Structure 1
């Protein structure tokens, strides 16, 4: 029993063809997997997204400029107010006109909890037009 006997293989030529059967098997399995999983990937939730435009919005005369700083202080058209003063002010503004808009200018570092409280108080008072003022430069 000679392990190093190479005379046995000298008469055979080297195999020059590529065996494609395993490649085809793997490709068929992958094709079946993609056929099964493709419908699962296209399932999505329908959401009615707002349309954005580059034109500036025309601000109506009856609007409230409301600012929230990162330290938790609130400003109603430049006047500092507390959270307890807001529900009656929102109710008065809603009674004056149903088209009164609330423009919220929240500081970048303001807590979302404060913004949510303001939006909730405004909605409970009857203000339905609430918008956020952003910096268009993004800086």
Structure 2
């Protein structure tokens, strides 16, 4: 394909060799593709900033999770949802050194709520967990 002669062996070649031309064109095409700037399709939006400086709900030394008789979970005295509790636990687990986590369910709290909360604590990889308030029942058993 690259070599073609005339009708006789002594005649000059009449066709141009296209292989080097195609190679050069492919190299140039690749060079142009590489040098094209990447198109970003982003819309820049100026979002309003929160002007209130809320204190961090995760204490650096110790935090307390309580569960009342109705099954409501509270983080350091403030009621929280399951999603918010998970965020606080993940934030607490990522701190160095990790703060202590005190867990205090009410004596008449439902086992289901306590179990669900303990499962969340376990999934968040908390290593410093302590049960408090149980010492008042030590003589009952």
Q: TM-score, normalised by structure 1?
A: 0.50
Q: In structure 2, how many angstroms separate the alpha carbons of the residues matched to 1:123 and 1:136?
A: 23
- Please report the RMSD computed on the Cα atoms of aligned residues, expressed in angstroms: 2.0
Q: What is the SS of the residue equivalent to 1:105?
A: strand
Q: What is the SS of the residue equivalent to 1:104?
A: strand
**Which residues of structure 2 form unaligned runs of 5+?**
1-59
Residue 86 (1) aligns with residue 85 (2): yes
Residue 66 of structure 2 is matched in structure 1 by 67
In the TM superposition, residue 135 of structure 1 has moved relative to its aligned partner by 5.0
Residue 123 of structure 1 is matched in structure 2 by 122
* C-alpha contact (below 8 Å) 2:92/2:98 kept by paired residues: no
Do the aligned partners of residues 105 and 119 (structure 1) sit closer, same or farther apart at CA in structure 2, a change above 3 Å counting? same
Q: In structure 1, how many angstroms separate the alpha carbons of the residues matched to 2:77 and 2:130?
A: 17
Residue 10 of structure 2 is matched in structure 1 by none
* C-alpha contact (below 8 Å) 2:62/2:99 kept by paired residues: yes
**Which residues of structure 1 form unaligned runs of 5+?**
1-60
In the TM superposition, residue 86 of structure 1 has moved relative to its aligned partner by 1.1
Residue 18 of structure 2 is matched in structure 1 by none
Q: What is the SS of the residue equivalent to 2:90?
A: helix
Q: What is the SS of the residue equivalent to 1:72?
A: coil
Q: In structure 2, how many angstroms separate the alpha carbons of the residues matched to 1:124 and 1:105?
A: 18
Q: TM-score, normalised by structure 2?
A: 0.50
In the TM superposition, residue 69 of structure 1 has moved relative to its aligned partner by 0.3
Count residues with an aligned counterpart.
79
Q: Deviating runs (4+, > 6 A) in structure 1? A: none
Q: In structure 1, how many angstroms separate the alpha carbons of the residues matched to 2:96 and 2:110?
A: 30
In the TM superposition, residue 71 of structure 1 has moved relative to its aligned partner by 0.2
Residue 24 of structure 1 is matched in structure 2 by none
Q: In structure 2, how many angstroms separate the alpha carbons of the residues matched to 1:70 and 1:97?
A: 33
